[in-house]
Structure 1
């Protein structure tokens, strides 16, 4: 399953999902320190730094789960 992480923070939930077998299509974060942590712990090309309103969702396909929506 593929996951989209919005408001990713430092990536704790994302890492747990990854360890459970989910694959991240993208991670979005606006905080510079949290972004740096995400880039250290995940594929940097999948990490977007900036406001979620500026992230182009249309470039993604096959998103099975957005944890924020399914909480």
Structure 2
């Protein structure tokens, strides 16, 4: 921990909130890193879009020629 802090791979947290962090042992001996973002999600203000706004955004996307496909679930699980 201190070696990574000294190399600036990690840094000291100055936030006033704490999040539970778990290391779960996977089959094969490796560990998986889990963070419970429940408290952080309560603090953040959510953006709620009206149906008409979503419809307008989708209509604007029809005019775009290039799209980027991102597998959000896969990326989230690799964080």
TM-score, structure 1 normalization: 0.21
Q: Which has the larger radius of gyration?
A: 2
Higher strand proportion (structure 1 or 2)? 1
TM-score normalised per structure 2 = 0.20
Say which structure, 1 or 2, has more relative contact order (CA 8 Å, 6+ apart).
Answer: 1
